[in-house]
Structure 1
Amino acid sequence: MIFFFDKSFIIILLINLLYSQCIAENTCFPSGFKIGVASSAYQTEGAWNVSDKGINNWDTFTHGKNQGNSNEDNTGDIASDSYNKYKEDIQIISDIGFDYYRLSLSWARILPNGFANKISEEGVQHYKNVLDELHAKGIEPFVTIYHWDHPDVLDKLGGWTNELMVDYFEDYARIVFQEFGSRVKLWATINEPNINCLSSYSTGVYAPGFKMPGIGPYICVHNMLKAHTRAYEIYDEEFRQINNGKIGIVIAGFYHFSVEENDTESSDVAFQYESGWIAHPIFSKNGDYPPVMKERIGENSKLEGYPRSRLPEFSPDWIQRIKGTSDYFGLNHYSSNLVKSVPKNPITGWINDSGIVSSVDKSWMRAASIWLSVVPKGFRSILNKIKCEYNNPPVFITENGYSGYANESDIQDINRINYFYSYIEEMLLAINVDGCNVHRYTAWSILDSFEWDMEYKERFGIVHVDFNNPNRTRTPRLSASWLGCVLNRRKLISFDEFNANRI
């Protein structure tokens, strides 16, 4: 007996066979899963004094560090020059095949004097041009309202240690929604409040450089959570029905492996003091700060003679308002560390306010950034922690990436490819095996850019930028080609497979 099959049947059969193999190897992305790439305004735009843009906190901070010299080697004055080269950058993103682009807005470019009484027509039009170009290329914009840069005048009022920042951010957010809401369906309010507040108001390595350890960061986060909540409420009440988008917050999170076997407490306490600090008020059943933070910071404050806890207290009304104010859990994850508990000292209290000290395993591979060890299993672990802690919310990976050294000729960036592969592999295990509710993955970053306190010494870009060339020439690295192949196949492929096909 002879059977005849038409061509469409054969194609469907082959697709099903390939998909079955993909499932078995755990290299498949779920249906509808989206992959994007990211940047931020101050790190890439440059054009620091173009048109009527106001001076922002990083302009003042970097110029001050360099004794008033506007040296582009040490500032974001020109950075990657994306303000002028945005069409070229979007074409690169399109050529690689990314589904979306996560970018941020410059507050001082939109509101030059920091307040809502003066809106820059040129600043607004620039971002409309960027968003329109993304849509023209079929790329979804994912817009972060605040990625660490704000008008300098607000720092003269205390920055995020002044509760009035909640009102100023509310005004700014409403204008952003009014101007760009029809073009943007996916928003993030604030990027990494935990990292920003510690670096800006404790260690002082980020703008504005305030050093108020134990007080400044707690006030900063307190105000950022309120500001985030007001922006969410504005969108929910005034714009969601019209624009039908989603809005959330972005939280930085390492995974913390306990040094001692069978010690689950240290890992949990470390998580609560880092990610839970932001996430617990929003995603937990009861809201408010994690109980362990309230207890231990309160105990330390009492020992230190303070009349109240250094950790500010939310009113019952604010606890209820903050709860649930995120349509997704935005997670920036790069690395992991080791943690162990130190018992409370009856005189000095809890070390680091948390009773936790951290370290790294010397066997872990290190990237250029001193804080970035390559620990792929930590990615799966933190996704499972979020799943268990907060009833498996939808998770968007909003940043994940690997830093190289500026003095390397690293166009053939195999280490970065291996990093991406191993981390995405662990993410797929978390999704396909553990049932973690992850919807998006964002590579950091599209371009080499200004890396905050490290300036241009470290490079995260999948596209190399020549900062010695006034044209800021772009050269895609090998990782850009590899990611393009992954996007084209919608399947995770190893470097060896990619390289074999390339040759």
Structure 2
Amino acid sequence: MKPVRVATLLWMLLLVPRLGAARKGSPEEASFYYGSFPLGFSWGVGSSAYQTEGAWDQDGKGPSIWDVFTHSGKGKVLGNETADVACDSYYKVQLLQVKYGGWQNVSMANYFRDYANLCFEAFGDRVKHWITFSDPRAMAEKGYETGHHAPGLKLRGTGLYKAAHHIIKAHAEAWHSYNTTWRSKQQGLVGISLNCDWGEPVDISNPKDLEAAERYLQFCLGWFANPIYAGDYPQVMKDYIGRKSAEQGLEMSRLPVFSLQEKSYIKGTSDFLGLGHFTTRYITERNYPFRQGPSYQNDRDLIELVDPNWPDLGSKWLYSVPWGFRRLLNFAQTQYGDPPIYVMENGASQKFHCNQLCDEWRIQYLKGYINEMLKAIKDGANIKGYTSWSLLDKFEWEKGYSDRYGFYYVEFNDRNKPRYPKASVQYYKKIIIANGFPNPREVESWYLKALETCSINNQMLAAEPLLSHMQMVTEIVVPTVCSLCVLITAVLLMLLLRRQS
């Protein structure tokens, strides 16, 4: 191991004990708040067409960049899995990359505007809340920086910034199109949904840690939100990327620049702010040299850490830290001028790779995170709705089917893709019906009843292999035997008739 790597590892290990000592949760964070959400608060569960529908080549549909990505060779997705069938939801409820280079080409903004207009025209009489892009940061970083997502390009330090620049322009085009042509008759709202974890400074008494945590949030949430709400990229992004670019011998910053006209056109193009959030990281300034080339991670000059005492939910990146949710919501509220906020993604994956329906960890995650959202409303945040992620277990991008976020377990090995409700289904229903958390006794009863119900469903799931075997016998073996019997009977009858003649 290289000396620099050894020093870095030792330095990070020394930081871990500081986490608990430097940051202890306040009594307010530790306490549970019983109360109701505002009247008219919206509740929902999220899903995704590509991740659930299957039917990848049906009804004249051309291949998307994800179809090409998953079919283009081994190693792109865990287990070399695809979403060709996924949950088969298509039967139960793009070329632009090749020709134009996808989001590396500014002309995509116009194509996206045309696509949005088609959607507004076709569905605008029923759809009143539109999301132009969901988690565009992941699209840009994983699609054009790391290559972990479609289209799988590794244009480090440049591709993601160019893609994000064009995505922001496309969002503005769609918003203006709706505002000019459709809003007066359809009376809907158009926004964007941005995913971001909370960044908490390791030591709140250390100005360097405070600056690093702020930088983390601006590179994450502010990257897209600041142009939309303030007309330009966060100053810290312009400063850091500009300085790094100069150090790398470049004459211009790798971060693209909006013209004055573009700034004016983009600013204010959101009727609400959609937020996705899953977990929290402790942030400290990186004080050792980073010798790799240009990259998003290098540009930020910070280190992300986790507290080993945080509940581990199974996925390597996902820990349950409810208090971070409240802090992110309040940050967004004050940072962007009190916008209406809709939480568009929040959820937990399965704890183990098993078909366990009694998902107590997801119930605890939901309880904690939704309660912190209620506290944020109490703080004054203008939160209008919450959408939990997700309805079904589904294709989780480069993770294939290994991570399960669904309220409903899907048996992907069964051709009928049966669904089974997990305990969290009943618990989330109770929160929605009560529009919050009425009192300790009732909330505890929800938990107990949810676990009672899931035990029955577990028995059904355990019996599924036998039922599938019986179904195979019924659908294949029995008809085959019957056909053979008829054939044998016919042969015997012919022999009998021939003997008589």
TM-score normalised according to structure 2 size: 0.78
Aligned to 1:485: 430
Query: How far apart, CA to CA, are the structure 1 residues paired with 2:165 and 2:434?
Result: 44
Aligned to 1:292: 236
Query: How far apart, CA to CA, are the structure 1 residues paired with 2:142 and 2:44?
Result: 27
Indicate conservation of the 8 Å contact 1:406/1:458, yes or no: no
Give the deviation of 1:163 after TM superposition.
Answer: 1.0
- In structure 2, do the counterparts of structure 1 residues 252 and 500 end up closer, same or farther at CA, with 3 Å as the change threshold? closer
Aligned to 1:61: 69
Which letter maps to 1:472?
Answer: K
Query: How far apart, CA to CA, are the structure 1 residues paired with 2:120 and 2:92?
Result: 25
Aligned to 1:435: 380
Aligned to 1:325: 269
Partner residue of 1:402 out of 348, 352, 376: 348
Which letter maps to 2:169?
Answer: K
3-state DSSP of counterpart to 2:156: coil
Query: How far apart, CA to CA, are the structure 1 residues paired with 2:355 and 2:290?
Result: 53
Aligned to 1:168: 111
Partner residue of 2:87 out of 77, 80, 83: 80
For residues 356-379 of structure 1, the C-alpha deviation after alignment (integer angstroms, 9 at most, x for no partner) is 121211111122222111100000
Indicate conservation of the 8 Å contact 2:79/2:400, yes or no: no
Partner residue of 1:261 out of 190, 199, 204: 204
Aligned to 2:180: 237
Indicate conservation of the 8 Å contact 2:244/2:299, yes or no: yes
1:103-502 to 2 correspondences below 5 Å = 151-263=94-206, 264-284=210-230, 287-342=231-286, 352-404=298-350, 407-432=353-378, 434-492=379-437, 496-500=444-448
Indicate conservation of the 8 Å contact 1:26/1:429, yes or no: no
Which letter maps to 1:417?
Answer: I
Indicate conservation of the 8 Å contact 1:203/1:213, yes or no: yes
Query: How far apart, CA to CA, are the structure 1 residues paired with 2:405 and 2:75?
Result: 27
Indicate conservation of the 8 Å contact 2:78/2:399, yes or no: no
For residues 44-68 of structure 1, the C-alpha deviation after alignment (integer angstroms, 9 at most, x for no partner) is 1110011100111011100113499
3-state DSSP of counterpart to 1:459: coil
Give the deviation of 1:489 after TM superposition.
Answer: 2.0
3-state DSSP of counterpart to 1:187: strand
Give the deviation of 1:349 after TM superposition.
Answer: 10
Give the deviation of 1:278 after TM superposition.
Answer: 0.5
3-state DSSP of counterpart to 1:65: coil
Give the deviation of 1:72 after TM superposition.
Answer: 10
- In structure 2, do the counterparts of structure 1 residues 332 and 190 end up closer, same or farther at CA, with 3 Å as the change threshold? same
Aligned to 2:51: 43
Query: How far apart, CA to CA, are the structure 2 residues paired with 1:28 and 1:410?
Result: 31
Query: How far apart, CA to CA, are the structure 2 residues paired with 1:480 and 1:63?
Result: 34
User: Which region of structure 1 is more displaced relative to structure 2, 218-227 or 256-265?
Assistant: 256-265
Identity of aligned residues (%): 39
For residues 407-431 of structure 1, the C-alpha deviation after alignment (integer angstroms, 9 at most, x for no partner) is 3122111100100000001110110
Give the deviation of 1:239 after TM superposition.
Answer: 0.4
Query: How far apart, CA to CA, are the structure 2 residues paired with 1:318 and 1:65?
Result: 40
3-state DSSP of counterpart to 2:200: strand
Indicate conservation of the 8 Å contact 2:149/2:398, yes or no: yes
- In structure 2, do the counterparts of structure 1 residues 328 and 212 end up closer, same or farther at CA, with 3 Å as the change threshold? same
Give the deviation of 1:272 after TM superposition.
Answer: 0.2
Query: How far apart, CA to CA, are the structure 1 residues paired with 2:78 and 2:397?
Result: 15
- In structure 2, do the counterparts of structure 1 residues 59 and 500 end up closer, same or farther at CA, with 3 Å as the change threshold? closer
Aligned to 2:482: none
Give the deviation of 1:73 after TM superposition.
Answer: 7.0
Which letter maps to 2:329?
Answer: L
3-state DSSP of counterpart to 2:100: coil
Indicate conservation of the 8 Å contact 2:197/2:281, yes or no: yes
**Between structures 1 and 2, the one with greater helix share:** 2
Give the deviation of 1:220 after TM superposition.
Answer: 0.5
Query: How far apart, CA to CA, are the structure 2 residues paired with 1:221 and 1:310?
Result: 12
Query: How far apart, CA to CA, are the structure 2 residues paired with 1:232 and 1:67?
Result: 38
Indicate conservation of the 8 Å contact 1:417/1:479, yes or no: yes
For residues 280-322 of structure 1, the C-alpha deviation after alignment (integer angstroms, 9 at most, x for no partner) is 11123xx200000001101111111112100000001111111
- In structure 2, do the counterparts of structure 1 residues 175 and 410 end up closer, same or farther at CA, with 3 Å as the change threshold? same
Query: How far apart, CA to CA, are the structure 2 residues paired with 1:279 and 1:152?
Result: 29
For residues 304-345 of structure 1, the C-alpha deviation after alignment (integer angstroms, 9 at most, x for no partner) is 111210000000111111111111110000011011113597
For residues 80-119 of structure 1, the C-alpha deviation after alignment (integer angstroms, 9 at most, x for no partner) is 1111111xxxxxxxxxxxxxxxxxxxxxxxxxxxxxxxxx
Aligned to 2:13: none
3-state DSSP of counterpart to 2:436: coil
User: How many residues were matched structurally?
Assistant: 412
Structure number with larger C-alpha Rg: 2
Give the deviation of 1:225 after TM superposition.
Answer: 0.1
3-state DSSP of counterpart to 1:297: helix
Which letter maps to 2:417?
Answer: R
Indicate conservation of the 8 Å contact 1:282/1:323, yes or no: yes
Which letter maps to 2:38?
Answer: P
Indicate conservation of the 8 Å contact 1:253/1:275, yes or no: yes
Query: How far apart, CA to CA, are the structure 2 residues paired with 1:484 and 1:371?
Result: 27
- In structure 2, do the counterparts of structure 1 residues 451 and 349 end up closer, same or farther at CA, with 3 Å as the change threshold? closer
Which letter maps to 1:291?
Answer: Q
Which letter maps to 1:467?
Answer: F
Give the deviation of 1:354 after TM superposition.
Answer: 1.6
- In structure 2, do the counterparts of structure 1 residues 406 and 346 end up closer, same or farther at CA, with 3 Å as the change threshold? closer
Indicate conservation of the 8 Å contact 2:192/2:274, yes or no: yes
Give the aligned CA root-mean-square deviation in angstroms. Answer: 2.4
- Is there any run of 5+ residues in structure 2 with no aligned partner, and where? 1-31, 453-501
- In structure 2, do the counterparts of structure 1 residues 476 and 488 end up closer, same or farther at CA, with 3 Å as the change threshold? same
For residues 15-58 of structure 1, the C-alpha deviation after alignment (integer angstroms, 9 at most, x for no partner) is xxxxxxxxx94331111111111111110111001110011101
